[in-house]
Amino acid sequence: MFPQRVRLQYDASVLHQNSLIGCRVQRLPEGSTERYTRWINSLTPDQLVSQVYTSHGPTVVMPTWFCSRKLFLKVGPFDEGGKGVPEDLLLFYKILRQGGGLLRVDECLLVYRYHEKATTHSVTAETIWKLRVDFLQERVLSQCENFTIWNAGKQGRKLYRSLSQTNQRKVKAFCDVDENKIQKGFYTYEESKERPKPKVPILHYKDASGPFIICVKLDMTGGVLEENLNSLQLKEGIDYYHFN
């Protein structure tokens, strides 16, 4: 920790007693998990809330956590299930479910060390995936009459197959930029027990309508995804949500 960490986060917690408070970090070794570190440090206040569904996990990362005793006693302790339990994600979701806020002190107050034997590597991708899908369904999809999955490829189809049957029926289309996928016209859910098997249209993103669940990784397309979203003049957290 940097010397001013406790003072600055304590000052923030006095003003925001129902919020989980984080800070910016310096990664060690320098340059490790470059995309993840950039994400941690550059999220806007609104994105701390709107991007809680991404595969990066908590938008306020656990090593930076600071909160009032009042909030901690309200939410309860970590899940002590042991190896393979994503205790930070579970507690993070509990805080949000109970109406807690999210805040970041915009100063670098912590050196966040990366090493290959970190406990986080013991949590399986499928465990995280199921928790994230359930949280997305609970917080976003349950409020939607219908929605579009942005990505007709592997990740978009995986999300569709992971949804409850009720939410699968709300998927009005997939959208994409890949002409080969668009020309196919439909995605057929072959594993479905329904007859006839569900067929979901595949559209160009300009022909699709929101709200969108984005299943394309952030910061991986050289800005193309972000430009496409901006061109549609959509508002994050209302018209679209990042899932990957």
Q: In a structure prediction context, what are the per-residue pLDDT tens digits for the chain, which is 244 residues long?
A: 999 999 999 999 999 999 999 999 999 999 889 999 999 999 999 999 999 999 999 999 999 999 999 999 999 999 988 888 999 999 999 999 999 999 999 999 999 998 876 666 678 999 999 999 999 999 999 999 999 999 999 999 999 999 999 999 999 999 999 999 999 999 999 999 889 999 999 999 999 999 999 999 988 888 899 999 999 999 999 999 999 9
- Per-residue pLDDT at 122: 72
**Stated length of the chain:** 244
Residue 4, amino acid? Q
**pLDDT the model gives residue 81:** 83
* Whole-number pLDDT of residue 2: 97
Q: What DSSP element (H or E) covers 37?
A: helix 34-42
What pLDDT score was predicted for residue 228? Answer: 93
Residue 64 confidence (pLDDT): 98
List of residues 6+ apart from 175 with CB closer than 8 A: 148, 149, 150, 151, 152, 202, 203, 204, 205, 207, 208, 212
Per-residue model confidence (pLDDT) at position 197: 94
pLDDT at res. 121: 62
Domains and CATH numbers, the chain: 5-125 (no CATH), 143-242 (3.40.50)
